Structure 1
Amino acid sequence: MSKFVSIRAAKSIALTVVAAAALSGCVSFGSKAPASLLTLSADASVATGASKSGLAKDALVVLTPEVPRKLDTNRVPVQIDAGNIAYLKDSVWTDKPAILVQQLLAETVAAKNGTLILNEVETAGKAERYLSGQLVEFGVDEASMEAVAIFDAVHIRKGGSIEKRRFEAREAMGEIKPRPAGEALNSAANKVASDVAAWLAAL
């Protein structure tokens, strides 16, 4: 009896191993992680515990910027010359640049201007002020060895005026590698966000 049980157990183990092997050929458990995961962090941020109240119509809604196709990715573009781009090796953004810049703008404007920032759902369609725009450039220029951020900001008032202004920041890089690129782009993005906040405060 014990011999019979042992043989049956051995068969069961063998079948389990075969099934696992077959499954591993069909299911991917993830590819190799990139050497660097890049993100943006705000130089000016809202203090923990700080609160802001107001009417939904007075809030500012910061929309996700439009982007050209080369920025509609988690990779960092490197402008080789006027007609060619490549992507920085071994590094990706933690999210698409448009989302990261939207979050940075919202945090910076809230911190510097004391503005009530809400999303469209939170305002239930009652907001009268919007910050929109296009992220024109957000990458590395090989010729100048600079990180470049260019944002065309659009301030919209429902039933009122529309203002548009271009903001640009450049940060020098010693070498085109993930860490210096990430640091330079973060610095350039914060400069743009700070300038946008000052512009909004003056409107």
Structure 2
Amino acid sequence: MTRLHKIRVGSIYRAGFMAVAAALTLSGCVSLGTKPPDELMRLTPQETAPAGATSSGQLSEAIVVLDPEADRGLDVLRVPVTVDASSVAYLKDALWIEKPTRQFRSVLAETLRARTGQLVVEGGDFEVTGRTLIGGRLLQMGYDAQRSAVIVRFDAIRTDRGGAPIQSRRFEAVVSGVEAKAKPVGVALNQAANDVARQVADWVKG
């Protein structure tokens, strides 16, 4: 065997070893199985209207928060992990108690109540009568393996009755240095979702 041939064979062995090692590393934080986790993840609002607080008014003057749209890969009960630009997996031992789009809607609605003091309702048939409609598309709510970070990205759409132009704005929150495990990712997702909700509420209020 020539020296050049030995070098090429050695390079192939090393490349194969690196690929296997990468696959084993990734398998530690993602899962393709269906075994349910011991705990379910949920989003909870960090800002809420105080106990006893009331808001009243005509339903036609309310702020209506609609269910965000989302791609199929996100609108599920599992937590997506972005592996690279073209690959997505799911976080091991992590399962939402309810679809993240619906949970984010509730967090956003409660944050709006706390920050605006206005009458805020969620979805249903209210969108035909509300003064301000807040909808949009949830673009990302998951874990980025390359950045070791949790990212929540939301394209908000605001529609006001009375002929006002439709407004759209992108909001994002990133929590870095997060370990690829269910508990720390869950905590970081809740933090990032609330951060985005506060940004949207301030936009609506201001």
Q: Which amino acid letter does the alignment assign opposite residue 36 of structure 1? A: E
Match of 2:99 among 96, 111, 114: 96
Indicate the residue corresponding to 1:194 in structure 2. 198
Distance 2:176 2:127 in 1: 43
Indicate the residue corresponding to 1:108 in structure 2. 111
- TM-score normalised according to structure 2 size: 0.79
Indicate the residue corresponding to 1:82 in structure 2. 85
CA apart distance, 1:35: 2.3
Indicate the residue corresponding to 1:136 in structure 2. 139
Q: Which amino acid letter does the alignment assign opposite residue 186 of structure 2? A: G
User: What is the CA deviation profile of residues 57-111 of structure 1, one whole-angstrom value per residue up to 9, with x for unaligned ones?
Assistant: 1101000000011112000000000000110111101100100000000000111
Indicate the residue corresponding to 2:159 in structure 1. 156
CA apart distance, 1:54: 0.8
Q: Is the 8 A contact 1:120 1:127 kept in 2?
A: no
Q: Is the 8 A contact 1:147 1:171 kept in 2?
A: yes
Indicate the residue corresponding to 1:118 in structure 2. 121
Segment drifting more, 33-42 vs 148-157: 33-42
Distance 1:80 1:120 in 2: 33
Distance 2:46 2:204 in 1: 18
CA separation of 1:121 and 1:172: change in aligned 2, threshold 3 A: closer
Match of 2:130 among 127, 132, 157: 127
Q: Is the 8 A contact 1:173 1:184 kept in 2?
A: no
CA apart distance, 1:32: 5.9
What secondary structure sits across from 1:118 in the alignment? strand
Indicate the residue corresponding to 1:41 in structure 2. 44
Match of 1:166 among 170, 176, 180: 170
Q: Which amino acid letter does the alignment assign opposite residue 182 of structure 1? A: G
Indicate the residue corresponding to 2:189 in structure 1. 185
Distance 1:120 1:145 in 2: 34
Larger radius of gyration: 1
Which runs of 5 or more structure 2 residues have no equivalent in the other structure? Answer: 1-33
Which runs of 5 or more structure 1 residues have no equivalent in the other structure? Answer: 1-30
CA apart distance, 1:33: 4.0
Q: In percent, how many aligned pairs have the same letter?
A: 39
Q: Is the 8 A contact 2:67 2:135 kept in 1?
A: yes
Equivalences, count: 172
